[in-house]
Amino acid sequence: MRSLLVFALLPAALSAAPALAIVRPVVSQMEGGEADPPGFEHAGGETLFFSCRVSGFAKTEENKIHMAYSVQAFDPKGAPLAEIYKNEISEEVLPQDKDWQPKIETSLAVPPLVPPGAYKILVKVEDLVAKTSAELPVPFRIRGRTVAPNDSLAVRNFRFYRREEDAQPLAKAAYRVGDELWAKFDIVGYKYGPNNKVDVSYVVSILSASGRVLWTQPDPAAEQSESFYPKPYVPAVMNLDLKTVKPAEYTMLVQVKDAMGKQAIETRQTFTVE
């Protein structure tokens, strides 16, 4: 009679170590705050507060962990919003802390002029003990205005208003003597210098119906700045006091210059004073 030997393998011997993972991501409006509700949209210029936990990490014989991580936000086209944030976690994990998970947290500044759409925070973690890595894209949304780009210098979205804070522009650019005139427009298509430098200026003149220059802005309004994230457009705003203006039809002439790209354009918009 042949004897049959059966070897029982313990389940623990068969189970693999848990894989490194980034878990419990939170995007919030305040430090330590609750996660954004579904569908929530942030605005350009806000500071986002991000946190997450790490599971499946390895420990040394001395019960120590050591990992490196990075956090960076990207726009809908994959361009980074700011420089990458890097740091390390080095801790001693005692046996009684078997359920403890390392926490990653940082703040992320959203540039003020960014297009609306679906953004992401990309988190990467490297376990320097186990020589493993993991990453996780965490989505968030931005609301805002869409300003169409252009290959060359151009003025977009010219609007007339009665007050600077008005949400809706005038359907017809008609004013009365004594009113204030507000005009807003966006400048696109300029070229960037080193460090995404922008050097754009504009001068406003008022012309009579016959084309005679009645008034010219004494000094150009200028935008000269550098930024990590390329400024997609330059918003412009100006106002006129119509207290001494005679009733008539007028033309607003806006002359725009791009010093970096050596470009110059002009646009003309009419309005009436009754």
For the stretch 189-206, pLDDT in tens is 999 999 999 999 999 999
From the number of C-beta atoms within 10 Å of its C-beta (0-12, 13-18, 19+), residue 8 rates as exposed
Q: Which residues, 6+ apart, have CB-to-CB distance to 265 below 8 Å?
A: 153, 154, 155, 255, 256
pLDDT at 18: 82
| Residue-level pLDDT at 128 | 98
DSSP-derived letter for residue 99 is T
Cα 248 to Cα 269: distance, rounded to the nearest angstrom: 14
For residue 146 the two structure tokens come to 């869409």
- What pLDDT was estimated at residue 97? 86
Q: How many CB atoms lie within 10 A of CB 240?
A: 20
Residue 2 confidence (pLDDT) above 80: no
The 10 Å Cβ neighbour count of residue 207 is 17
Rama region for 32: left / alpha / beta (φ>0; ψ in -120 to 50; rest): left
Confidence check: pLDDT of 117 > 80: yes
Whether the predicted pLDDT of 168 surpasses 80 = yes
End-to-end CA distance of the chain: 117
Answer yes or no: is pLDDT of 95 > 60. Answer: yes
- pTM for this model (two decimals): 0.86
How many other C-beta atoms are found inside a 10 Å radius of the C-beta of residue 225?
13
What's residue 9's pLDDT?
Answer: 41
Q: What is the DSSP letter of 11?
A: H
Q: What is the mean pLDDT of the chain?
A: 93
Token representation of residue 220: 């150009």
**∠230-235-240 over CA atoms, to 5°?**
160
12 has a pLDDT exceeding 80: no
Q: Which pLDDT value is given to residue 16? A: 54
Give yes or no for residue 231 having a pLDDT over 60: yes
Closest residue by Cα to residue 238 from 205, 197, 190, 198: 205
Q: So what's the pLDDT on residue 1?
A: 40
27 pLDDT more than 80: yes
Q: Is the pLDDT of residue 67 over 50?
A: yes
- Can you list the domains of the chain with their CATH numbers? 18-143 (2.60.40.2550), 154-273 (2.70.50.60)
pLDDT at 98: 83
